[in-house]
Amino acid sequence: MKRVILSFLVAFMSFTSSFAQFTEDKPKAVVGIIVDQMKYDYISRYWDNFGEGGFKKLVNDGYFVRNGQYNYAPTVTGPGHASVYSGTSPAYHSIVNNNFYDREKGKGVYCVDDKRYTTVGSDSKNGQKSPYRLATTNLSDEIKWASNFRSKVYAVSIKDRSAVLPAGHAGDGAYWLDEKNGNWITSSFYMKELPQWLTDLNEGKKRPIDKYMKSDWTLSLPIERYGASTEDSTAYESLFPGKSEPTFPYSIKKGVASDRVRAKTGRKYDIIKGTPYGNTLVTEMAMHIIDNENYGQDNFTDLLAVSYSSTDYAGHAYGPQSMEVEDMYIKLDKELETLINHLDEKLGKGNYVIFLTADHAGAQNAGFMRDRMNFEAVNISSKEDTQAIETVLNARFGEGKYVASNYSGQLYLDRELIKEKKLDLEEVQLATAEAFMAMPQYAAAIIGKDLERNEYTLGYKGLIYNGFNPRFSPDVYGVLKSHNMDYGKGGTTHFSPYKYDTHVPIMFYGWNIPHGETHAPHTITEIAPTVCSFLNMNYPSGCYSNPIIIPMKK
């Protein structure tokens, strides 16, 4: 009998111990890559001009979500980066735009400005930033918390908001380019002084940025290989400093010499952002972080957020039909290959996971749509539209300046004036919406009171609802008709709830990720919970999305 009991106890203890043991198979590192203004179709359009080690590697050896969508509007950089890493929309994380009107302060604000902090790495004010407006935790925060703050989290971009927002509240460092002196800088929110390796890089006699500032931007391939683009010079592009037409090659040195605006405002190095060298600088900085911060070298998963922003500058300047944008992506493909090879060398193949997506896509140039697509599209002016709306409101409610701010149709009313005049806010919102709809360039106008009372899930009303935060969002949304844009005649922009602004690639590659693809609809807010599921940890606090189901390798 004792033998039976003993055998039972041994078996029971073995059974329970198997449950007590929880072996975690996790990657050493997560590398999040966001390509600013990357349209989904750039993968297929430029495929034949890509090498084997960049985009093609991610597609051929990774998992490709082909129907990746933004599920809110406006589609711009600040909210895009905040949403990818927080797994939620502006309705919850509160980054409603790059710039927006703060009713409590009574003025326009920038999404990451914070004068409580100082610049680290420069004597400029370009480092006075923090993520304090980000109202939820994000992937970076949860990785820090899950490891009891032993994981390392860094972010790098030439844009401040594209580094600050991914790094979250608990990140070890966010670095961006100082357009005044070309240094990599950060904020005292993160650290009191730069690490020595970065100080040495900034103060070195042979800084890479100084070499690039004397370089030319030339085509990567023979011009006949650029079949996905228009001819080199069109009326749909803007001009590089020092150029009389938008044609290759581009001399950065001559551009600096002729750019009086940047010189006068102390922004000499800003010019590099609109060239492929801006992306090269980001790749180099990412590799410096990997090499100098013991990245991916212990038992706690690290995160590196890499945002390539020069693609956005090129899109704004030349438009998605241009050779400049195509060449920018051909060169970015090489940057990705360089970064992947470096990760393989330092961490080992299969020991890290990459996700790649965009912070928004982009529209086609309105003039191009008119001339070559026979599509009625116009360039509008928010300033002129605001004046028209003021005229209507003055005629109806009496003299006053009713519009506090208008960001491309996102219109904020002066609520203090409305209160002084003892007017009903909703009545003024409705009158403003009617004024929008009296202008033929608008498809719809939606008021804030409507979004506060009702829930919308479909069409552009659903996207605007997901982007609506009662404290920070506008009083009235004027939705432009498809392909109309609040922008100049050269290049393009992004902002709308239309598919040309919302459809982006989503890719996963590396650790336990199989080769495969899906055409099922998925949103960018599903990326963060997917990565959290890889790491067996909590989702960010405002994340209501589910992870993408990927049939992982055993």
> Any idea which residues carry the catalytic annotation?
77
The rounded distance, in Å, linking the Cα atoms of 363 and 30 is 31
Q: Which contacts qualify for 196-203: CB closer than 8 Å, 24 or more apart?
A: 197/288, 197/292, 198/121, 198/288, 198/292, 199/121, 201/288, 202/121
Interior/surface letters 279-300, b for 16+ CB within 10 angstroms, e for the rest: bbbbbbbbbbbbeebebbeeeb
Helix or strand holding residue 212 (H, E): helix 208-212
Q: Which two tokens stand for residue 142?
A: 């949860």
The rounded distance, in Å, linking the Cα atoms of 186 and 126 is 9
Give residue for tokens 């070309």: 182
Strands in 309-402 per DSSP E: 352-358
Q: What are phi and psi of 456, to 5 degrees?
A: -120, 140
Following DSSP, what letter does each residue of 280-310 receive, concatenated?
Answer: HHHHHHHHHHHHHTTTT-SSS-EEEEEEE-H
The rounded distance, in Å, linking the Cα atoms of 67 and 93 is 24
Contact of 94 with 547, CB cutoff 8 Å? no
Annotated binding site for substrate: 98, 159-161
Which of 80, 554, 62 lies closest to 336 in space, CA to CA? 62
Pairing mode of beta strands 516-518, 63-69:
parallel
Which residue type occupies 245? E
